[in-house]
Chains A and B, each alone.
Chain A
Amino acid sequence: MSPAFILTTCPFCGCGCGFYLVVVNGRAVSVAPCFSDRVSRGGLCIKGRRAHEFIHSKDRLRVPLIRRNGGFAEATWDEALDFVAGKLSAIRSVSPDAVGLLSSAKCTNEENYLMMKLARAVIGTNNVDHCARLCHASTVAGLAAAFGSGAMTNSIPEVAEADCILVTGSNTIEQHPLIGTRVLEAKERGATLIVVDPRETMLSDHADIFLRQRPGTDVAWLNAFMNVIIAEDLHDKTFIAERTEGFEEMAALAGRYPPGRAAEITGIPAGDLAAAARAYARAGSAMILYSMGITQHTSGTDNVKSVANLAMLTGNVGKACSGVNPLRGQNNVQGACDMGALPNVYSGYQRVADPAARAKFGRAWNAELPERPGLTLCEMMEAAAAGALRAMYIMGENPMVSDPDSNHVRRALGSLDLLVVQDIFMSETAALAHVVLPGVCYAEKDGTFTNTDRSVLPVRKALDAPGEARADWEIIRDLARRLGSGAFSYASPAAVMDEIAATTPSYGGISHARLEAGETPAWPCPDARSAGTQFLHKDRFARGRGLFHAVEYRPPAEETDAEYPLIMTTGRTMFHYHTGTMTRRIGLLNHEVPAGYVEIHPLDAGRLKIADGDTVDVASRRGEIAIAAQVTERVPEGTVFIPFHFAEAAANVLTNRALDPEAKIPGLKVCAVRVTGRNGR
Chain B
Amino acid sequence: MIAKSGEPSSAPVGAVLVLGGGVAGIQAALDLAEAGQKVYLLESRASIGGTMASLDKTFPTNDCAMCILSPKLVQAGRHLNIELITYADLEKVEGEAGRFRVRIKRKPRYVDPAKCTGCGDCATVDVPDPAELVEHRGELWIRRLDIDEVKCTQCGDCVRACRKENPEAPAMGSVHHRQSEEAQPGRRTAGADLRDLRNMDGAGRLAYWRRHMSRCIKCYGCRDVCPVFVESECRMEEWARPGRLPPDAPLYHLARAYYIAARCTHCGYCEDVCPGDLPLRTLVDLVRHADPGDLFEFVPGLPAAAGRRMRRAFPLPKKAEGTA
Contacts and interface: CB of A to CB of B under 8 A. Distances in A.
Chain A CB within 10 Å — which of B246, B274, B276, B319 has the most?
B276
Interface string B263-291: 00000000011111100000000000000
Contacts of B219: 43-46, 48-49, 177
A254 B273 CA distance: 46
B217 A177 contact: yes
A178 B275 contact: yes
A42 B221 CA distance: 10
A237 B78 CA distance: 50
Nearest to B235: A591
Given A33-B225, A173-B245, A46 B217 contact: yes
A382 interface: no
A49 B224 contact: yes
Interface in A185-213: 185, 188, 202, 205-206
Interface string A45-74: 110110000000000000000000000000
Interface string A18-51: 0000000000001001010000111111101100
Given A185-B277, A591-B237, A591-B242, A35 B217 contact: no
Contacts of B246: 202
B250 to A, nearest CB: 16
Chain B CB within 10 Å — which of A30, A178, A202, A634 has the most?
A202
A575 B275 CA distance: 16
Given A43-B219, A184-B276, A573 B243 contact: yes
Interface of B: 214-215, 217-221, 224-225, 237, 242-243, 245-246, 272-277, 319-321
Given A42-B272, A181-B275, A588-B237, A612 B320 contact: yes
A185 B277 CA distance: 8
Contact of A42 (B217, B220, B273): B273
A184 to B, nearest CB: 5
B247 to A, nearest CB: 10
Given A184-B276, A185-B277, A634-B321, 9 more contacts: A33-B221, A44-B219, A49-B221, A173-B217, A177-B219, A206-B215, A574-B217, A592-B243, A593-B242
Contacts of A40: 275
B275 A588 contact: no
Contact of A181 (B224, B242, B276, B320): B276
Given A49-B221, A632-B320, A44 B275 contact: yes
A188 B273 CA distance: 18
Interface in A536-588: 573-575, 588
Contacts of A429: none
B214 A181 contact: no
Nearest to B272: A42
A618 B145 CA distance: 73
Given A173-B217, A612-B319, A33 B272 contact: yes
Majority-rule SS of A interface residues: mixed
Contacts of A185: 277
A174 interface: yes
A49 B222 CA distance: 11
A653 interface: no
A633 interface: yes
Given A181-B275, A592-B242, A592-B243, A43 B320 contact: no
Contacts of B243: 573, 575, 592-593
A423 B21 CA distance: 59
Given A44-B221, A49-B221, A631-B321, A206 B214 contact: yes
Contacts of B277: 181, 185, 188
20 contacts: A33-B221, A33-B272, A43-B221, A44-B219, A45-B217, A45-B219, A45-B275, A46-B217, A48-B219, A173-B245, A177-B219, A177-B275, A184-B215, A202-B217, A588-B237, A592-B237, A594-B242, A602-B321, A631-B319, A633-B321
A48 B275 CA distance: 12
Interface string A609-645: 0001100000000000000001111100000000000
A574 B245 contact: yes
Nearest to A612: B320
A632 B321 contact: yes
Contact of A174 (B224, B225, B245, B272): B245
Given A202-B246, A593-B243, A630-B320, A33 B273 contact: yes
Given A592-B243, A612-B320, A631-B320, A181 B215 contact: yes
Closest 9 interchain pairs by CB?
A43-B275, A593-B243, A181-B275, A612-B320, A592-B242, A202-B245, A46-B219, A592-B243, A33-B273
A542 to B, nearest CB: 33
Nearest to A185: B277
Nearest to A47: B219
A301 B277 CA distance: 37
A184 B224 CA distance: 23
A370 interface: no
Contacts of A633: 321
A589 to B, nearest CB: 10
A96 interface: no
B8 to A, nearest CB: 29
A588 B218 CA distance: 11
Contacts of B217: 45-46, 173, 177, 180-181, 202, 574
Contacts of B218: 46, 574, 592
A674 to B, nearest CB: 22
A43 B272 CA distance: 8
B128 to A, nearest CB: 33
Contacts of B321: 602, 631-634
Nearest to B321: A632
A681 B149 CA distance: 93
Interface string A651-662: 000000000000
Contact of B220 (A188, A205, A588): A588
Contacts of B224: 30, 49
Contacts of A612: 319-320
Nearest to B215: A184
B214 A49 contact: no
Contacts of A593: 242-243
Contact of B273 (A43, A184, A202, A205): A43
A633 B237 CA distance: 24
Contacts of B215: 181, 184, 206
A612 B241 CA distance: 14
Nearest to A181: B275
Nearest to A575: B243
A602 B217 CA distance: 26
Contacts of B237: 588, 591-592
B272 A35 contact: yes
A493 B85 CA distance: 50
Contacts of A45: 217, 219, 275
B177 to A, nearest CB: 31
B249 to A, nearest CB: 12
Nearest to B212: A188
Interface in A409-459: none
Contacts of A591: 237, 242
Chain B CB within 10 Å — which of A35, A43, A594, A631 has the most?
A43
Contact of B274 (A30, A43, A173): A43
Interface in A592-616: 592-594, 602, 612-613
A133 to B, nearest CB: 29
A573 B243 CA distance: 8
A93 B310 CA distance: 72
